[in-house]
Amino acid sequence: MNERRIAVYAGSFDPIHNGHMDIVRRCRPIFDEVVVAVLNNEAKKATFSVEERVAMLEELLADLDDCRVESFSGLLVHFMDRIGARTIVRGLRAVSDFEYE
């Protein structure tokens, strides 16, 4: 069975920055597809709406055929199950990020 390797890079992306883009570009060679998943968390006060963040990411990733942007709410594992992904991509800024994750 030739299963596609789909990775999910999930976050609020509020705002999107060069570090986010670097992670997306660096993980692309490892996977068949990278899904940038924008979390819709009603409990958080966001600077940009989910729609705005998705639109910004789509524009920034328009030249990458193996990437797509989707929004989701609820548990990440449920979103991953729905799209057939098995891998989560995370960026770590410090040791405290690693301990938190």
Between CA 71 and CA 55 the distance in angstroms is 11
Under 8 Å CB-to-CB from 14, ≥6 apart: which residues?
Answer: 44, 46, 47, 48, 53
pTM: 0.88
Instruction: Give the chain's residues under pLDDT 70.
Output: 1-2, 94-101
Q: What is the pLDDT of residue 101?
A: 59
Closest CA to 77 of 67, 88, 62: 88
Q: Please report the pLDDT score of residue 26 as a whole number.
A: 95
CA dist list (Å): 81 to 29, 39, 57, 74, 86: 22, 16, 22, 12, 8
Q: Considering only CA atoms, which of 15, 2, 13 is closest in space to residue 69?
A: 13
* Contact criterion met (CB below 8 Å) for 100 and 19: no
pLDDT of residue 20: 95
Half-sphere exposure of 30 (CA within 13 A, CB side): 13
- Residue 95: the pLDDT is 62
